[in-house]
A and B are shown apart, each in its own frame.
Chain A
Amino acid sequence: MYDFAYHKPTNLADAAKLLADPDAKAVSGGHTLIPALKHRLNKPSALVDLSGIAEMKGIRREGNAIVIGALTRHVEVANSAEVKAAIPALAYMASHIGDVQVRNRGTIGGSVSNNDPAADYPAAVLGLGATIHTNKRKIAADDFFQGMFTTALAADEILVAVEFPIPEKAGYAKMKNPASRYVMAGVFISKGAGGVRVAVNGAGPCVFRQADMEKALAANWSANAVAGIAQSADGMNSDIHGSAEYRAHLVGVMAKRAMAAAG
């Protein structure tokens, strides 16, 4: 790891000023960034530790939505009575990220703003049609995830919270890598005011919506409705853990399991 300066601002305005340096990086739990730094994939001039910023913390219900502060750790979402009551699929997803120790440090803001293709949270954000709150604006999930490790966030823009509309029904299922438990292929399905949404993570270079499945489920909300829909293997990820064809097949299997979980 290359060395860097370390800053711990206590409010968003100071953090944004520090992040105006294009070589500075934001950190909260560090469970994505620190491994990347160890590989020298990044050489930041400074790390800006956001963990002291009170306005980025906490889980609250606002009308028909659950708003989760960016610094909220996976273990807190998994154990939150509010999340479990309103969006149990989201609490379930958070409780299956990585392992206990990863969930004790990793945060929703870090996971969403990093947009790793094998991360869990992007599927929930896109699958529930969430809204990203930053220090500058609000961004719809459909506009936020732009490609592998790429989002709509500007360099000095800070993800402050994620607002999840409460669905009527939602379910998530993933096939995890057996050693590291990241997502090989996952599907998050929801039905709510915004219609039916089906988001696929892990299988492709970036989380995406599966339009054929959404159409089928809008007409017939049942696991059988997605059973006959084949996901194309074009553009799917392929590595020693699974070929593109295997991952495409898993999308169908995970969609059925997510529907079984959604009920």
Chain B
Amino acid sequence: MPQVTLTVNGQTHTAEVEGRTLLVELLRDKLRMTGTHVGCDTSQCGACVVHVNGESVKSCTTLAVMCNGANISTIEGLAAADGTLHVMQEAFREYHALQCGFCTPGMVMSAIDLVNKHPNGLTEQQIREGLEGNLCRCTGYHNIVKAIAAAAEVMQGKRSEMARAAD
């Protein structure tokens, strides 16, 4: 069986996989990191989004063997060791950007990539287009868009702390 060595959230792992093993299967079933979800398994819903070498990808449509040597970031790697949430996670909480929460890991990972790719700021339209690969069946997206806009301002140094959501 092929062997892959990859870095996940800063830790190096080596695992035996089959050719057909998906990246999400390696993460969830072998490495027991179940924060990354499988929703549709057809590359549409984005619940499985992780970062591979700094770019958001759908881990249900990526073979583990093709990630040999890659640097992977997952939702588990975002919060600080003391439990302090990443700004994007905090924004999702503050703005009530989730209901059932199933899509949230993928939403957060896509959102962080989106902010990173737009260092000069994001319009609402850009946020909505940037989320085309992530489906949410609960929220109607409005609060997700607000959360990402608020987190972007903090991540990009335009605010020192997040604007509170209106009551």
Contact = CB atoms under 8 A, between A and B. Distances in A.
B130 A34 contact: no
Contacts, number: 71
Interface in B41-67: 41-44, 46, 49, 55-58, 61-63, 65-66
B16 interface: no
A100 B110 contact: yes
A174 B73 CA distance: 34
Contacts of B61: 30-31, 34-35, 105
Q: What range describes how many residues of B lie at the interface?
A: 20 to 34
B132 A181 contact: yes
A179 B46 CA distance: 12
A27 B63 CA distance: 10
Contacts of B55: 75, 104
B62 A105 contact: yes
A100 B44 contact: no
Contacts of B161: none
A101 B110 contact: yes
A2 B44 CA distance: 22
B121 interface: no
A180 B46 contact: no
A98 interface: yes
Given A2-B20, A37-B20, A98 B133 contact: yes
B20 A3 contact: yes
B2 interface: yes
A35 B62 contact: no
Interface string A1-34: 1111110000000000000000000010011001
Q: Lowest 3 A-B CB distances belong to which pairs?
A: A99-B133, A6-B19, A99-B132
Interface of B: 2, 18-20, 22, 41-44, 46, 49, 55-58, 61-63, 65-66, 110, 113-114, 130, 132-134
Given A6-B63, A100-B133, 9 more contacts: A6-B2, A34-B43, A46-B19, A47-B19, A51-B66, A99-B132, A100-B114, A101-B58, A102-B133
